[in-house]
């Protein structure tokens, strides 16, 4: 919107299943970055634990010829996101940079978006979050603390994107490929995750998205996800 | 923050230039403590530090920003702006972490801001083990400790035992120096992740002091045996980075990993093929492979093998070995052939689960690597280059405890880490004095008489020597934020005690460790600013000559009669909690377990056949009984568990460990038989047999984030 | 907004209208520890940025620390009772506990940054009122999302929700 | 046709039908108090939910919609009792409808009021429900007209308005008559509501035309409302929801449950208000036949929906189908089939067994069955989403159960109050001259 003089980004991610070890560093990094509400045993048992990114694990085959598949699943920031049209108040929408944004202050909590998300990556704030003091000192001031009654989900660390874009603008230079890294991508020890601009054909993520191993999750639904999964080579 | 950014900051800083493209970040350069009044809301600063959650010693950078807390000063309540650590990331300059970090490393923040930290010195008021404490001023607490310590020293300094974490750092060096000045024996560790066996094997075979480094990133074909190197063994971030490089980091080359392990660990799950190995048969598998290599003339470096070793291998009964390992001969032959034919093969052996014969498996693995000709070569096994790596070992801890009169505890938890049947609780109950320097009250600190709480690592400077690092690496932490509580760094406390005892003692600071190593032109400030001192490794060919002359193997010993206790029980260090010390971090509690997806608890993993025989379903309560004790836990029917082997993650079952861990779940170590690894006398925690009985449904359910573990199949959930 | 007046106590149930009222109330009631006269400082030729140093480059405009106050007041106007309060704080080494006048409620989830607004040439008085006429800062300008958006539209600034709310 | 008016003089009819309006038996009071207490308890539960957060309900990830939405669909379904049935009967000039219509129309209005509350109860931030309405504001923010939920809001408010008008129109001659006989506040109430009705030919004409028109309109609205409710589900990509059959399936289910509700209400008021002369076995017989027809129609749709899913054998759909038919939800599924098909088919299909009692029993089971049907449409799909790793189960808490139960009590209270204020059977339609009109 009115940013025609700037290059428009289209953020996307590639996850290399061949590199992913399932170590869940991304999960913890996301918790640290995004002020995710803390669960306790009771709320976790009631299905209220929040992990914006999770590592799905599926066992394949039977013992002894069994293997396990680890698959980090986060908001796919679909181009044709099923969650967007169903929100009655526009609390979730596609922003100019292709992010699927959840506007907490606009959300009234119909939870329709969550039902319509085939990836089940949307989470709801059933209660106001609590952190036993002084755990709250850790809160990232760049990220909202969500109150009861609103949806939340992976933002592709929009606060990091905004910060990087701002700094680039202040320094009057274009954003370099790899300069913006969501917390999960930043943390990944095996460097299985790559984040970048899909509008830039030279970016690492664009090249990976074009590679032969690239697939997308539930692609058949036509959601046009912007997270690309590179299949395991064997 | 990526590597380039951090470099920029660091380099501009060391050049003394604060005005450049990122001059705005110039305030991020001060490597010293951030004065609270200089914290600007909304502005971030990044400071280097070291992760102390596991022994890996990753260099990290911490994001410091403004925070507010309410404090009471002379009865009045103030809201105070303080500098807070908001996030920890890997230090991009550190060759170990390379800017990356594991889940536990991220959660270190929650130990800094844990609501259950010890906030001031305390004195025991309740019976030992009951964790009742009352605050005590520093002076009198220190004086009391010094007095008793002085008395013990004058009678027999050998009766002073210090337990500290298995990590080479200024902290452990300070402790060692303190003990030396008292004339006491060196500090020990009792962590199950102490890697004592790995160190011993490297010493025995190659005379290496420290952990060998496996250059996975340059290898083409890797056989992992018993080492869950992606799930926490040795240096998880380093090996995960290596793994990424191994798999997809080189154009046109994709490494293939075969993992032989007695459970489907994270590494086995990520491997191209998992060889389900019978517990404790690692030596058998390794020797069988060595034999196959020799037989098929694939051992490219057979001449270097000591004659005694070669003889032992050739004398082995291959069929027996294969039978004991429980792996199909066809598969084993194929793996041996692939290994032998690969351009750059490597065998990574470890003892994630220690058995009585673990040392033999590591020794065998070293000889196997020698046979493959990769010792000291790129893509092979490399010698540790850390001169300063003296870390406390986990050896003979129980004997030492029994001998001791005075126990000094630094974040080590013998009550948790040793089986109840070893009598550790009685031993601790009978000690003359127990002093804890840790920041939490755990199962063992509950026995302490005095707690002299340390700062958190992020609040005080330290230097850590990572056990696995390319070249020489010392990661340095300077204090990042003001201490939250009335705590004192352990060096200072020990200094105070020594002064009271009139013993000459000076704590070792990070600077003391770094300065002798500095090259001309380098300054301590540079090192502190970038978070460490790193030197590239040199070729280490000379050090790779084997010293050992023999290779022997024995069948693993399991305690308990097989008729009564039909299942082999293997507790394993969990991804979330490591050796158990991560259990008080809520992020780790709610991290879904990689095997069972359980949160806020760890189930006992049972294979489908056994489960069917016992009529156990996922989510049922079961009783796990050994000859030494029993525990009750929830069951998870693990599709990839070995028949007849029950596994359970270590981490839960703390009697005392703060609100997030206390009284949650069961400690699998507690029911073990006190069986020790043959050479190091470290606890062989995979060497107990159990029986499992079904208790059925009861209050308290298995909390799983993803109950479903199959992508297709029968309908419905449990 | 009027329909909500009864709910003032129930801040957690509030909609936008309610928090505005609550805020106005807080602003109007703000009992500052020191009756700081903005007008007289401005008259002396001080610029807003002299004390609120972050307004042009940072997210937060910031409040000066008591040390900064003492740069002048160590010598100037020491006898005035309000200044003596400043000196008392300085001597105790405690920051002056100023009460915040303008704020966005946490429910609004606004990530406001002063810098871009300053750089876009928005004068301080647009949002904070004419401080040449005020003594103790008061909440004189009401901010709603409507007023933010009106300005953003006029100035062709981003109207993307995620520009401010995230 | 044994229509009461043919045999009975109008005065007697009026006396009979006005009798329940005056005085209150102790039984009435007790029932009213009891039901009010239950309703109040529901309010307390809702208040607790508002105060603590929606998390006090059992809904969870991935089952984000639970009892509240089940009740919503159920009550909107019940609302089809009245207006739709009475409109059909009115449009088809079924003479036997006269004693039935008002009772039916009242059900519609009340059920809609209750059903319409559930989307609000279910909101995470219920106090902001007005954001779903298009009202002008300085932010230039409008609701998202692409969202089926907004269609819902529109459809339900239209239907509610229409139903109230449709209930009100035939009430005018009755309240006009009542106003001449009542005293005190009742007189004022009836006078006001009669809108100055004098009973002139012009007025009768206008009323007849208005009612005919409203009957036509309401029929269309009613069908569309439940179709829109169905679209809440079928517009989404969730397995077993994304089905083109849902619109008509829901409408059929709604009429089915609506008739059942009407039958239950009729048999209750027949007994308690002594309206045996007006609500005769003939009415029950007719409605029972209608119920049987709807039961068969419902079965047809159910088979059509499930058979295609099963035959298609699409894995994601099969997880839901399997859970429903032979997995966790199988008991509910087969109870539903029993209630919705077996019971009505046997009790009403065999002529010998068809009676007021069996019709009532069948209706009650149909209500249970239809509630279960709503449950089985919503919950299994959410429990067994597209990615098996995100599967999860749902169990309601006391809050949801309290609120659900309370809504039945609210229905009772509203009905009790209504029947005390207005004749539950349209009186003027028994007047001789109105016969001539028809």
Q: Which of B37, B40, B79 sits opposite C58 (nearest CB)?
A: B40
Q: Which of A103, A128, A147 sits opposite C165 (nearest CB)?
A: A103
**Do B130 and B439 touch, CB atoms closer than 8 A?**
no
pTM: predicted TM-score of the whole model, two decimal places: 0.92
Asked whether the predicted pLDDT for residue B463 surpasses 80, the reply is yes
CB-CB neighbors (< 8 A) of B24 in chain C:
57
D313 CB-near residues (< 8 Å, 6+ apart): none
Give, in order, the Cα–Cα distances in Å from D208 to each of B274, D192, D202, D427. 82, 21, 10, 15
Q: Is B704 on the interface with D (CB under 8 A)?
A: no
Categorize the per-residue pLDDT at B538 as very low, low, confident or very high, splitting at 50, 70 and 90.
low
**Do D98 and D434 touch, CB atoms closer than 8 A?**
no
- For residue D129, the chain C residue with the least C-alpha distance is C15
C→D interface, C-beta within 8 Å: 7, 13-15, 144-147, 149-150
Closest CA to B88 of B423, B480, B467: B480
B293 CB-near residues (< 8 Å, 6+ apart): B299, B336, B339, B340, B368, B371, B372
Total domains in chain C come to: 1
CB-CB neighbors (< 8 A) of D62 in chain A:
47, 114, 120
Asked whether the predicted pLDDT for residue B390 surpasses 70, the reply is no
**Do A13 and A194 touch, CB atoms closer than 8 A?**
yes
Asked if the Cβ–Cβ distance from A159 to C109 is below 8 Å, we say: no
Q: Is the residue at C107 inside a domain?
A: yes
- For residue B607, the chain A residue with the least C-alpha distance is A63
Angle at the Cα of B394 from the Cα atoms of B392 and B397, rounded to 5 degrees:
110
pLDDT of residue B304: 84
Question: What integer is the mean pLDDT of B32-38?
Answer: 58
**Statement: B567-696 belongs to CATH 3.30.360.10:** no
Q: Which of B21, B87, B607 sits opposite A33 (nearest CB)?
A: B87
Give, in order, the Cα–Cα distances in Å from B198 to each of B208, B366, B377, D96, D423. 11, 10, 20, 93, 91
- For residue D326, the chain B residue with the least C-alpha distance is B715
Chains touching chain A, criterion 3+ CB pairs below 8 Å: B, C, D
CB-CB neighbors (< 8 A) of D396 in chain A:
none
The DSSP call for residue B24 is: G
> Which residues 137-156 of chain C have a CB within 8 Å of chain A?
156
Question: CATH code for B204-382?
Answer: 3.40.228.10
Q: Which of B707, B711, B715 sits opposite D322 (nearest CB)?
A: B715
Mutate to test the interface with B, among A134, A168, A234 (most CBs of B within 10 A): A134
pLDDT of residue D430: 76
D281 φ, ψ (degrees, to nearest 5): -55, -30
Helix (H) or strand (E) holding B266: helix B266-270
CB atoms within 10 A of CB B614: 18
Question: What integer is the mean pLDDT of B615-620?
Answer: 94
Question: CATH code for A11-230?
Answer: 3.30.70.20
Categorize the per-residue pLDDT at C132 as very low, low, confident or very high, splitting at 50, 70 and 90.
confident
How high is the mean pLDDT of chain B? 88
D272 φ, ψ (degrees, to nearest 5): -75, -30
What are the structure tokens assigned to B657, written together?
């460990």
What are the structure tokens assigned to B619, written together?
């989510």
Both ends of chain D: CA-CA distance in Å? 16
Residue carrying the six token digits 């893509």: B379
**Do A227 and A216 touch, CB atoms closer than 8 A?**
yes
Question: What integer is the mean pLDDT of A60-85?
Answer: 93
Which domains does chain D show, CATH number per domain? 28-126+142-425 (1.20.1630.10)
pLDDT of residue D428: 82
Chains touching chain B, criterion 3+ CB pairs below 8 Å: A, C, D
What is the ipTM, given to two decimal places?
0.91
**Cα–Cα dist C66/C89, whole Å:** 7
Both ends of chain A: CA-CA distance in Å? 44
The string of pLDDT tens digits covering residues B477-512 is 988 888 999 999 999 999 999 999 999 999 998 888
Q: Is D319 on the interface with B (CB under 8 A)?
A: yes
- Where are the extended beta strands (E) located within C31-150? none
The DSSP call for residue C93 is: T
Asked if the Cβ–Cβ distance from C162 to A147 is below 8 Å, we say: no
The DSSP call for residue B316 is: S
Categorize the per-residue pLDDT at B541 as very low, low, confident or very high, splitting at 50, 70 and 90.
low
Q: Is the residue at C50 inside a domain?
A: yes
3-class DSSP state of B349: strand
Q: Is the residue at C11 inside a domain?
A: no
Helix (H) or strand (E) holding B649: strand B645-650
Burial class (CB in 10 A: 0-12, 13-18, 19+), A39: buried
**Cα–Cα dist A197/A175, whole Å:** 10
Q: What length does chain D have?
A: 438
The residue extents of the domains of chain B are 122-192+391-459+483-510, 204-382, 567-696
pLDDT of residue B35: 60
Q: What is the 3-state secondary structure (H, E, C) of chain D?
A: CCCHHHHCCHHHHHHHHHHHHCCCCHHHHHHHHHHHHHHHHHHHHHHHHHHHCHHHCCCCCCCCCCHHHHHHHHHHHHCCCHHHHHHHHHHCCCHHHHHHHHHHHHHHHHHHHHHHHHHHHHCCCHHHHHHHCCCCCCCCCCCCCCCHHHHHHHHHHHHHHHHHHHHHCCHHHHHHHHHHHCCHHHHHHHHHHHCCCCCCHHHHHHHHHHHHHHHHHHHHHHHHHHHHHHHHHHCCCCCCCCCCCHHHHHHHHHHHHHHHHHHHHHHHHHHHCCCCCCCCHHHHHHHHHHHHHHHHHHHHHHHHHHHHHHHHCCHHHHHHHHHHHCCCCHHHHHHHHHHHHHHHHHHHHCHHHCCHHHHHHHHHHHHHHHHHHHHHHHHHHHHCCCCHHHCCCCCCCHHHHHHHHHHHHHHHHHHHHHHHHCCCCCCHHHCHHHHHHC
The string of pLDDT tens digits covering residues C93-113 is 777 888 888 888 888 899 899
Closest CA to A189 of C92, C25, B51, B134: B51
The string of pLDDT tens digits covering residues B554-565 is 999 999 999 999
pLDDT of residue C11: 38
Distance from CA of A60 to the nearest CA of B (A): 7
The residue extents of the domains of chain A are 11-230
> Which residue would you say has higher pLDDT here, B699 or A117?
A117
Categorize the per-residue pLDDT at C25 as very low, low, confident or very high, splitting at 50, 70 and 90.
very low
Asked if the Cβ–Cβ distance from C59 to B41 is below 8 Å, we say: yes
B144 φ, ψ (degrees, to nearest 5): -65, -45
Distance from CA of B48 to the nearest CA of A (A): 16
pLDDT of residue B5: 55
Q: Is B717 on the interface with D (CB under 8 A)?
A: yes
User: Containing domain of residue C149, as a range?
Assistant: 33-63+98-164
CATH class of the region B122-192+391-459+483-510 = alpha beta
3-class DSSP state of B123: strand
What are the structure tokens assigned to B555, written together?
């069948």
Distance from CA of C5 to the nearest CA of D (A): 14
pLDDT in tens, chain D (438 residues): 444 445 567 788 888 888 888 777 888 999 999 999 999 999 999 999 999 999 999 999 999 999 999 999 999 999 987 777 778 777 887 777 778 888 888 999 999 999 999 999 999 999 999 999 988 887 778 899 999 999 999 999 999 999 999 899 989 988 888 888 888 888 899 988 988 888 888 999 999 899 889 888 888 898 899 999 999 999 998 999 998 999 999 999 999 999 999 999 999 988 888 888 888 888 899 889 999 999 999 999 999 999 999 998 888 888 899 999 988 899 999 999 999 999 999 999 988 888 899 999 999 999 999 999 999 999 999 999 999 999 998 999 999 999 999 999 999 999 999 988 898 888 887 776 544 443
> Which residues 113-152 of chain A have a CB within 8 Å of chain B?
132-142
Q: Is D322 on the interface with B (CB under 8 A)?
A: yes
**Do B648 and B572 touch, CB atoms closer than 8 A?**
yes
Categorize the per-residue pLDDT at A227 as very low, low, confident or very high, splitting at 50, 70 and 90.
very high
Asked whether the predicted pLDDT for residue B16 surpasses 50, the reply is no
pLDDT of residue C30: 52
Categorize the per-residue pLDDT at B86 as very low, low, confident or very high, splitting at 50, 70 and 90.
very high
Asked if the Cβ–Cβ distance from C147 to D138 is below 8 Å, we say: yes
**Cα–Cα dist B291/D398, whole Å:** 67
Categorize the per-residue pLDDT at B226 as very low, low, confident or very high, splitting at 50, 70 and 90.
very high
CB-CB neighbors (< 8 A) of D235 in chain A:
86
């Amino acid at each position: 919107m009115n940013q025609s003089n700037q290059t428009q980004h289209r953020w996307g991610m590639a996850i290399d299943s061949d590199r992913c070890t399932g170590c869940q560093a991304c999960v913890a990094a996301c918790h640290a970055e995004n002020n995710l509400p803390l669960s306790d045993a009771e709320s976790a048992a009631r299905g209220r634990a929040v992990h914006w990114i999770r590592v799905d694990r599926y066992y394949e085959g039977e013992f002894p010829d069994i293997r396990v598949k680890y698959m980090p699943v986060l908001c796919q920031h679909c181009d044709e996101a099923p969650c967007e049209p169903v929100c009655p108040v526009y609390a979730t929408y596609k922003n100019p940079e292709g992010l699927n944004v959840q506007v907490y202050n606009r959300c009234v909590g119909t939870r329709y978006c969550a039902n319509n998300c085939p990836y089940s990556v949307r989470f709801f704030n059933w209660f106001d979050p609590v952190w036993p003091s002084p755990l709250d000192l850790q809160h990232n001031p760049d990220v909202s603390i969500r109150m009861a009654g609103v949806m939340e989900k992976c933002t592709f660390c929009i606060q990091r994107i905004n910060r990087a874009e701002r700094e680039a603008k202040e320094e009057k230079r274009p954003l370099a490929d790899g300069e913006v890294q969501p917390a999960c991508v930043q943390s990944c020890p095996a460097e299985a995750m790559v984040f970048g601009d899909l509008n830039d054909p030279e970016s690492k993520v664009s090249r990976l998205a074009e590679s032969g191993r690239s697939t997308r999750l539930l692609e058949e639904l036509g959601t046009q996800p912007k997270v690309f999964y590179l299949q395991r080579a064997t | 923050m990526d590597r380039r950014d951090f470099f920029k900051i660091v380099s501009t800083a060391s050049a003394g230039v604060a005005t450049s493209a990122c001059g705005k970040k110039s305030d991020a350069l001060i490597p010293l403590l951030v004065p609270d009044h200089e914290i600007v809301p909304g502005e971030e600063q990044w400071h280097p530090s070291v992760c102390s959650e596991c022994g890996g010693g990753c260099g990290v950078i911490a994001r410091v920003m403004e925070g507010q807390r309410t404090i009471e000063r002379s009865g009045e309540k103030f809201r105070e702006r303080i500098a807070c650590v908001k996030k920890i990331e890997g230090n991009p300059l550190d060759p170990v972490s390379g800017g990356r970090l594991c889940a536990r490393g991220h959660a270190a923040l929650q130990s800094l801001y844990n609501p259950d930290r010890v906030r001031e010195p305390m004195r025991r008021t309740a019976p030992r083990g009951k964790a009742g404490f009352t605050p005590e001023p520093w002076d009198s607490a220190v004086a009391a400790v010094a007095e008793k310590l002085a008395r013990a020293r004058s009678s027999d300094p050998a009766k002073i035992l210090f337990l500290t974490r298995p990590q080479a750092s200024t902290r452990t060096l300070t402790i060692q120096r303190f003990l030396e000045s008292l004339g006491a024996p060196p500090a020990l560790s009792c962590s199950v992740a102490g890697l004592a066996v790995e160190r011993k094997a490297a010493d025995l075979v190659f005379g290496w002091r420290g952990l060998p480094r496996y250059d996975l990133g340059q290898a083409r074909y890797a056989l992992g045996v018993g080492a869950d190197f992606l799930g926490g063994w040795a240096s998880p971030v380093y090996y995960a980075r290596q793994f990424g490089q191994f798999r997809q980091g080189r154009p046109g080359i994709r490494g293939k990993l075969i993992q032989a392990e007695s459970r489907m660990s994270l590494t086995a799950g990520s491997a191209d093929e998992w060889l389900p190995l019978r517990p404790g048969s690692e030596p058998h598998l390794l020797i069988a492979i060595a034999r196959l290599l020799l037989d098929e003339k694939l051992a490219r470096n057979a001449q270097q093998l000591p004659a005694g070793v070669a003889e032992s291998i050739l004398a082995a009964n291959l069929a027996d070995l294969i039978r004991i390992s429980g792996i199909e001969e066809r598969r084993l032959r194929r793996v041996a052939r692939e290994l032998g034919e690969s351009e750059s093969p490597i065998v990574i052996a470890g003892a994630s689960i220690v058995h009585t014969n673990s040392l033999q498996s590591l020794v065998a693995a070293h000889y196997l690597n020698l046979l493959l000709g990769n010792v000291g070569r790129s893509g092979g096994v490399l010698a540790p280059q850390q001169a300063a790596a003296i870390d406390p070992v986990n050896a003979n801890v129980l004997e030492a405890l029994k001998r001791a009169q005075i126990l000094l505890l630094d974040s080590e938890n013998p009550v948790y880490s040793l089986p109840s049947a070893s009598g550790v609780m009685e031993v601790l109950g009978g000690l003359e004095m127990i002093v804890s320097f840790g920041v939490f009250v755990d199962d063992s600190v509950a026995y302490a008489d005095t707690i002299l709480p340390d700062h958190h690592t992020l609040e005080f400077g330290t230097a850590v020597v990572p056990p696995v690092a390319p070249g020489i690496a010392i990661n340095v932490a300077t204090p990042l934020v003001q201490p939250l509580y009335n705590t004192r760094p352990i060096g200072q406390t020990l200094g105070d005690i020594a002064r009271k005892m009139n013993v000459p003692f000076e704590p070792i600071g990070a600077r003391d460790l770094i300065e002798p190593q500095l090259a001309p032109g380098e300054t301590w400030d540079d090192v502190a600013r970038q978070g460490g001192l790193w030197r590239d490794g040199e070729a280490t060919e000379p050090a790779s000559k084997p010293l050992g002359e023999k290779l022997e193997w024995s069948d693993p010993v399991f305690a308990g009669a097989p008729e009564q206790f039909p299942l082999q029980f293997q507790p394993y260090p969990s991804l979330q909690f490591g050796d158990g010390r991560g259990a008080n971090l809520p992020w780790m509690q709610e991290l879904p377990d990689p095997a069972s997806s359980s949160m806020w608890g760890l189930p006992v993993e049972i294979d489908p056949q056994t489960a069917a025989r016992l009529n156990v379903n996922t989510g049922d309560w079961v009783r796990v009984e050994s000859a030494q004790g029993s525990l009750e836990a929830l069951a998870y029917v693990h599709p990839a568990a070995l028949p007849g082997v029950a596994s359970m993650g270590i981490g839960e079952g703390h009697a005392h460990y703060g609100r997030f861990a206390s009284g949650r779940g069961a400690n699998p170590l507690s029911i073990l038989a006190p069986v020790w690894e043959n050479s190091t006398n470290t606890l062989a925690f995979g060497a107990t047999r159990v029986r499992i009985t079904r208790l059925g449904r009861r209050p308290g359910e298995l909390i799983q984030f993803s109950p479903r573990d199959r992508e297709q199949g029968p309908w419905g959930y449990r | 907004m009027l329909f909500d007046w009864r709910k003032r106590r129930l801040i957690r149930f509030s909609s936008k209208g309610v928090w505005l009222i609550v805020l106005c109330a807080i602003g109007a009631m703000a009992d500052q520890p020191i009756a700081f006269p903005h007008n007289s400082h401005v008259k002396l030729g001080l610029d807003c940025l002299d004390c609120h140093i972050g307004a042009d480059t940072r997210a937060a405009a910031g409040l000066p620390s008591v040390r900064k106050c003492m740069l002048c007041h160590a010598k100037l106007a020491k006898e005035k009772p309000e200044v003596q309060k400043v000196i008392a704080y300085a001597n105790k080494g405690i920051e002056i506990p100023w009460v915040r006048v303008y704020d966005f409620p946490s429910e609004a989830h606004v990530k406001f940054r002063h810098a871009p607004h300053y750089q876009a040439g928005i004068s301080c008085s647009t949002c904070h009122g004419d401080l040449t006429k005020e003594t103790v800062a008061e909440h004189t300008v009401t901010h709603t999302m409507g007023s933010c958006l009106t300005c953003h539209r006029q100035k062709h600034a981003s109207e993307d929700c995620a520009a401010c709310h995230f | 046709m044994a229509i009461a008016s043919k045999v009975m003089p109008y005065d007697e009819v009026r006396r009979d039908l006005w009798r329940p309006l005056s005085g209150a038996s102790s039984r009435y009071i007790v029932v009213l108090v009891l039901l009010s207490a239950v309703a109040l308890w529901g309010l307390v539960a809702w208040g607790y939910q508002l105060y603590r957060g929606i998390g006090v309900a059992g809904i969870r990830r991935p089952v984000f919609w639970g009892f509240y939405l089940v009740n919503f669909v159920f009550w909107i379904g019940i609302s089809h009792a009245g207006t739709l049935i009475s409109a059909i009967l009115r449009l088809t000039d079924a003479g036997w409808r006269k004693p039935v219509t008002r009772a039916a129309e009242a059900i519609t209005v009340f059920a809609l009021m209750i059903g319409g509350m559930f989307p609000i109860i279910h909101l995470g931030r219920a106090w902001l429900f007005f954001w779903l309405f298009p009202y002008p504001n300085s932010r230039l923010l409008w609701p998202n007209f692409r969202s089926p939920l907004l269609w819902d809001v529109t459809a339900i408010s239209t239907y509610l308005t229409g139903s109230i008008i449709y209930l009100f129109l035939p009430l005018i001659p009755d309240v006009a008559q009542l106003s001449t006989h009542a005293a005190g506040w009742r007189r004022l109430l009836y006078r006001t509501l009669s809108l100055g009705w004098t009973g002139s030919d012009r007025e009768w004409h206008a009323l007849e035309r208005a009612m005919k028109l409203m009957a036509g309109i309401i029929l269309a609205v009613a069908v569309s409302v439940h179709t829109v409710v169905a679209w809440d589900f079928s517009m989404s990509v969730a397995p077993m929801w994304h089905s083109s059959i849902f619109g008509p399936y829901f409408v059929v289910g709604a009429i089915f449950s609506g008739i059942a509700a009407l039958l239950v209400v009729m048999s209750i008021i027949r007994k308690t208000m002594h309206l045996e002369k007006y609500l005769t076995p003939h009415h029950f017989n007719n409605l029972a036949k209608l119920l049987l027809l709807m039961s068969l129609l419902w079965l047809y749709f159910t088979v059509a929906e499930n058979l295609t899913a099963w035959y298609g054998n699409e894995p994601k759909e099969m997880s839901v189908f399997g859970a429903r038919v032979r997995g966790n939800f199988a008991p509910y599924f087969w109870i539903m089939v029993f209630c919705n098909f077996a019971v009505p088919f046997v009790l009403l299909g065999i002529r010998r067994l068809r009676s007021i009692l069996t019709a009532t029993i069948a209706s009650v089971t149909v209500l249970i069955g239809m509630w279960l049907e709503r449950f089985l449409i919503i919950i299994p799909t959410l429990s067994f989403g597209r990615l098996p790793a995100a599967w999860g189960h749902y169990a309601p808490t006391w809050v949801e159960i309290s609120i659900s139960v309370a809504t039945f009590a609210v229905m009772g209270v509203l009905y009790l109050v209504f029947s005390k204020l207005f004749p539950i059977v349209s009186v003027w339609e028994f007047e001789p001259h109105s016969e001539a009109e028809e």
